[in-house]
Each structure stands twice: as structure tokens, then as C-alpha cells.
Structure 1
Amino acid sequence: MARYEIAFSGELVPGAQLEVVQANLAKLFQADAQRIALLFSGRRVVIKNNLDEAAAEKYRSTLERAGARVEVIDIDAQVIEEIELAPPPVAAPASPVDAQPTGRLVVAPRDEYMAAFANVDAPDFGVAALGADLQDGKAQIAPPALDLSSFSLAPVGSDMGQAKAAPAAEVPDTSHLKLV
């Protein structure tokens, strides 16, 4: 049984007006203007998937009556792409004159797919020994030249201009008051 998906790319049926189609889709999907604007962004949006043929046709006809041109795509149909494989790599050079430059990695491909990467010139970074420090040392930074000669220290206990605490508020005399 074939399965289908409904996709929309913002295309309108001939003769349809954008504002009318947007209003129709907003009513159909019960969506706000922001979500409807996403449908008309120009990107392909899958509206519904995993439908049988009858349901896909029902969605297509309803959306086309609303003014939106949709794609109905059979998702069960496998698209097989032909790939031309690269030729296998040439055998490694026998003489040291033709060898790769030092510090370069030479890899023999494991299959036809990896043969496409045989002529890639990649540096050989290698692996550090266990416990090796991989971080570069920090460069020494010269301290800034500051002239602090105009500053001095005040004697212990001196007033440095701190804010003084507000005097405690005077408590009113309530001794003459009675509760009846």
C-alpha cells in the first residue's frame, strides 16, 4: 500500500489572490497569521505525511479549492541515485624521492568509497603521549606602568569620609494613653 505526503511551497493556483488564499488556509488549519506566513516563506513545508491515496487526494483537492497548489509525493517510491566511484588509488611510491612530504598522512583506502579520498593531502597530527600537556604555555604579560606615588595610606582609626549613621529616632511618650 503506497503512502503519500502533502507538501506546500507557497505556490498558488492560477487566478488566486494571496490574501484570499492566506485567509482560506488560516480558516482550514485554524492557525494564526504568523503560522500562515511560515507556509508562504518559499520553503517546502510538509503539511501531512503517511497518508493513503484517498486521503492524499482529499487533502490535495481541499487545498486547491482554497487556492494553494500542493505536491502529492509517494514516499514509498525509492529514488536511487547512481554514483560513479573514483578509480582506486595508485600504489605507494617505491623511491624516497617520490614519497609524500614529511609530516603528511598517507592512508590506504579500505574500499571503493574511501578511494575517493585517496589523494587528499592531510597533515599528520598524530597522537600525544598519555599525560602530555597539550595546551601551549602562556605568554608573559608585562604589568601596566601605573604611577601610584600620589596615593597614601591613612592612619589607623581615621575618618575616611564614610557615611555617618543617622541618629536614632526619638520614641514618643505614650504613657498618657489608655485603652478603654
Structure 2
Amino acid sequence: MPLFEIAFQGKVRAGVTQEQARARIGQLFQVGGQQLDVLFSGRRVVIKQGLDETAAEKYRQAIERAGALCSIDPMDAGPASDSAPVETPAQPATAASVTPAAPRSGGASVEPRDAYMAAFKDVEAPDFDIAPVGSDIQDEYDAFTPLPIDLSALSLAPPGADLDELKRSSDARVPNTDHLKLQD
């Protein structure tokens, strides 16, 4: 049984603006911002792979209802267009499964483990060293400034004191039961 992949190159249907298609595709795949920029960059992005023909057609129809155009390509053959090869995810279409056609330049490409980590895929973080043992990590200390709060009405209980709620003195009236008798 042949398997297919859904590829997207940022093309939109006639009569649909780029902004409308971006918004609808973002809702469809629950992605936003940076992932949408990758999808609509013009590069070939594989959205889903390993589908049978029926499932691939359902994806195509959903994407076209959102206002965009995609292609269904057989997995054993090369891509339909003459574009660069693409990394293809084996996960369902989530934020983590939208992968660009080429890895970032300037280092190793890291695949995110889930949709949350996909948001940090293209973040360039500086290299931080570990401070030597005993070094002061904070550069400057701010002088202590007391807050202008009046605490004179508060007091502390002595050590060992019972901090439970104070017992109320109750003048409970005990009813007179002298007139009552028990009978067999």
C-alpha cells in the first residue's frame, strides 16, 4: 500500500488573502507566530507523512477549506517540485511537526521533543559558564530599604504559648430537670 505525505509551500487559493490563510492555517494546526512564518516562507514544508491516500485527501481538503494549497506526494518518490530535501516528522500535525526545509545555520540542528519545546527550536542562547565554587554571583546588592508599614499593633506570643483560638467564656444556662421522672 503506497504511503503519502502532505507538503505545503505557502501558496494560497485564489480570492483568499495571505493574512486570512495564515489565520485559518494557524487555527487548523494550532500554531502561531514563528511556525506560521516557517509555513508561509515559500519553502517546501512536510506537514504530515505516512498517510494512506484517503487520509492524505482529508488533509488536503481541510487545508484547502482554510484557504491554502498543498500537495500530496508519494513517500517513495522524491518531492514533486525541484526544491531542497525536507526533514519530515513522524508525529501528528502539531506545533512540533512543522519543520523547515533546511536546518539552521551556525550549529547542530536539534529536533524538539514536544510541541512546547518546538517554540524554542530557533532560539540562539548565549553560552554561560559555571561560576567557581564560593564566588559571588550577584554583581551588586541593593541597600535594604524598610517599608513604611506600622506594625506597632502586632505582638509576638512568648515561646511555648498556645496559639489556638481563645476560648470564649460562655454563661451557659443549665435547664432545671428536677420535675422530670423516669417510669417503667
Coarse TM-score class (shorter-chain normalised): 0.3 to 0.5
Please give the TM-score of this superposition, normalised by the length of structure 1: 0.42
Larger Rg: 1
- Per the normalisation by structure 2, the TM-score is 0.41
